[in-house]
Structure 1
Amino acid sequence: MFLKSYKIFTILLILIVSTTAFSQTTKEVSREWVAFTQEIDVKTDKKVKFKLRANLKTVGIKSNSAATLYAWVKNKTEESGFSESVQDSVLKNPQWTPYEIQGYFDEAAEKLTFGAWVVSDGEFYFDDFELFFQKEDGNYEPVTIANSGFEEKVMDDTVPGWQQDVDKEENIIKVKGYTFHSSESKHNGKLALMILGNGVKNNPASNINTEEGFTPQIGTLVSMLNNLSNRVERVVKGLDIRQTDHLLDEKANRIGALIMHLAAAEVYYQVYTFENRAFNKEEKEKWEIGLDLGDKAREEFKGKPITYYLDIYKEVRKKTIEELKKRNDEWLEGSWPGSTMNNHFAWFHVMEHQSSHLGQILMLKKRIPEEENDIKLPEDKVDQ
């Protein structure tokens, strides 16, 4: 623990270098990046400036290969603290290069996290981490960093003194394609840290590709449609009925109703673009309430689990994909009778519509109160 009281500013800093002990359980995941960090508790009643320095070298293989130095201040409040990163990539300079981040934390700060991450295939080197806090006289005082020059050797893919990826239960996360090594290709001392990325897989959730089995433009359209629907499902799939049915106010829509609305709107464009017609009577009765929302939807769409709405949503998407597979890029340029938009724009609008309501769903989800605070007394009991 480091403790000092400055004469003028009376700044109190409490620094505890994190030395997290990992459990023995390891989980393997696929993604394009891996990180290592240290975390320091910071408390102050004034603004404090800091500097983070390190030397990086990247021998990349792919166009997106890069090593990134970063610092992030976590505040006690919901307001974001300082955050910055600087990047070394094969497109710039594959030689040892010094990088520096100048930042600050203040009375709202809780923790300072710093370290680095790498992306994609390549050899990524790190050496000579340094951290400084500014004193009252304007000079900077060094702060101790565990294994700052990586002279303690990497053992069993673990970097001594540094925290690697862990989940909420503190199980080690092993990212496929990445391994950690001590390297004699150092900037100072005897050793440096080298992260090797070899066969790192792209994350489909953050890439738009041309889906197989479709013509090129339709294949790209399908990739974008599925990316959005997967995000919608991921956001809502864990909700219980209370959360699914929560009503923010008398004019709002429940999350379950919004999922039904997304399904109804997609069916609407299925009918127009695939069959060149409007809803028939049966379809109108089935989908109109979900399409229009409002008072009828608030009354209709409640008391059902989120899986009820997601099953309908996924069944609608299944038909969309089946129908798009029957069509080609030329069809995208066509329109249906009386339309002022072509088929391509219609399905772009389906994505635009889903993206808009995804933002609404995220906002509504954040406004759901804790269960114990969500109990409302009947009006006749309020004054008793």
Structure 2
Amino acid sequence: METKEKDLYFINETEGYSSEIGKLVSMMEYTRYTTLKEIKELSLEELDYHFDGKSNSIGMLLYHLASLEKAFQIMTFEDRELTDKEWEELSVGITLSDDAKREIKGKDISFYVNMLSKTREKTLYYFAKYTDEWLDKVTPFGWDYPANNYFKWFHVFEDELNHRGQIRMIIKRLND
């Protein structure tokens, strides 16, 4: 799906999607557009930079965004929890532990952009198959709470917005 820049500043229905899903798509597309705009010129060194021993790198945060979205694809589109194998594949990107610091590095910007794009393509493909009623479906969220699919997908791009703020902070520190 190609979105024109001038269309990004409206939360509207999106062609090919039901009304509310289309609005959700328009919010997610704006969020992704601004994330990609922020990172497009970053070097490998900038993507791997840690400003202290406890910080995440920009590459780690981008990897996290794709990993989290993949997990929510499974939980909402397939209506199930992750298998142990899926958790093993996604956990390093989701938890951003010390393992992530060791494993998520040495990848250039095209790696992350490709990962984010392929993951989003799959999300948009499945969104087109559902009606707005699917957004209201309630299933467990974490261990303690129920949530509807609308909230779960809001959470995906809310997480991206939060991490984009971290990315901006890291870029600012790089430029100090």
- Give the TM-score normalised by the residue count of structure 1: 0.43
The answer as to whether partners of 1:276 and 1:337 remain within 8 angstroms in 2 is no
Could you give the per-residue CA deviations for residues 255-313 of structure 1, whole angstroms, max 9, x where no partner exists?
00100001111111111111111112332222110000021111111111021112111
Match in the other structure for 1:258: 61
2:133 paired residue among 316, 321, 330: 330
The answer as to whether partners of 2:74 and 2:80 remain within 8 angstroms in 1 is yes
State yes or no: 1:314 paired with 2:117: yes
Match in the other structure for 2:26: 223
Could you give the per-residue CA deviations for residues 71-108 of structure 1, whole angstroms, max 9, x where no partner exists?
xxxxxxxxxxxxxxxxxxxxxxxxxxxxxxxxxxxxxx
DSSP-derived class of the 2:38 partner = helix
Residue type of the alignment partner of 1:344: Y
Within 5 Å, give how 1:155-170 maps onto structure 2: none
**Distance (whole Å) between structure 2 residues aligned to residue 216 and residue 242 of structure 1:** 42
Higher relative contact order (CA 8 A, sep 6+): 2
Within 5 Å, give how 1:6-17 maps onto structure 2: none
The offset of 1:205, in angstroms, is 2.8
CA RMSD of the aligned region, Å? 1.7
DSSP-derived class of the 2:169 partner = helix
Match in the other structure for 1:121: none
DSSP-derived class of the 1:259 partner = helix
2:157 paired residue among 348, 351, 372: 351
The answer as to whether partners of 2:140 and 2:147 remain within 8 angstroms in 1 is no
Identity %: 38
Residues 212 and 304 of structure 1, relative CA distance in 2, 3 Å threshold: same
The answer as to whether partners of 1:266 and 1:316 remain within 8 angstroms in 2 is yes
Structure with the larger helix share: 2
State yes or no: 1:368 paired with 2:174: yes
2:85 paired residue among 269, 274, 282: 282
The offset of 1:337, in angstroms, is 5.4
Could you give the per-residue CA deviations for residues 338-383 of structure 1, whole angstroms, max 9, x where no partner exists?
761111111111121111111111111111157xxxxxxxxxxxxx
**Distance (whole Å) between structure 1 residues aligned to residue 135 and residue 108 of structure 2:** 36
**Distance (whole Å) between structure 1 residues aligned to residue 114 and residue 57 of structure 2:** 17
The answer as to whether partners of 1:273 and 1:335 remain within 8 angstroms in 2 is no
**Distance (whole Å) between structure 1 residues aligned to residue 140 and residue 51 of structure 2:** 40
- Give the TM-score normalised by the residue count of structure 2: 0.91
1:299 paired residue among 90, 102, 108: 102
Moved more, 289-298 or 361-370: 361-370
DSSP-derived class of the 1:327 partner = coil
**Distance (whole Å) between structure 2 residues aligned to residue 337 and residue 284 of structure 1:** 17
**Distance (whole Å) between structure 2 residues aligned to residue 202 and residue 282 of structure 1:** 39
Number of residue pairs matched? 170
The answer as to whether partners of 1:244 and 1:255 remain within 8 angstroms in 2 is yes
Match in the other structure for 2:146: 340
Match in the other structure for 1:136: none
Whose Rg is larger? 1
The answer as to whether partners of 1:211 and 1:223 remain within 8 angstroms in 2 is yes
Within 5 Å, give how 1:1-384 maps onto structure 2: 203-336=6-139, 340-369=146-175
DSSP-derived class of the 2:138 partner = coil
Could you give the per-residue CA deviations for residues 139-169 of structure 1, whole angstroms, max 9, x where no partner exists?
xxxxxxxxxxxxxxxxxxxxxxxxxxxxxxx
Could you give the per-residue CA deviations for residues 156-212 of structure 1, whole angstroms, max 9, x where no partner exists?
xxxxxxxxxxxxxxxxxxxxxxxxxxxxxxxxxxxxxxxxxxxxx981232222110
Q: Which runs of 5+ in 1 are unaligned?
A: 1-200, 371-384
Structure with the larger strand share: 1
**Distance (whole Å) between structure 1 residues aligned to residue 172 and residue 86 of structure 2:** 34
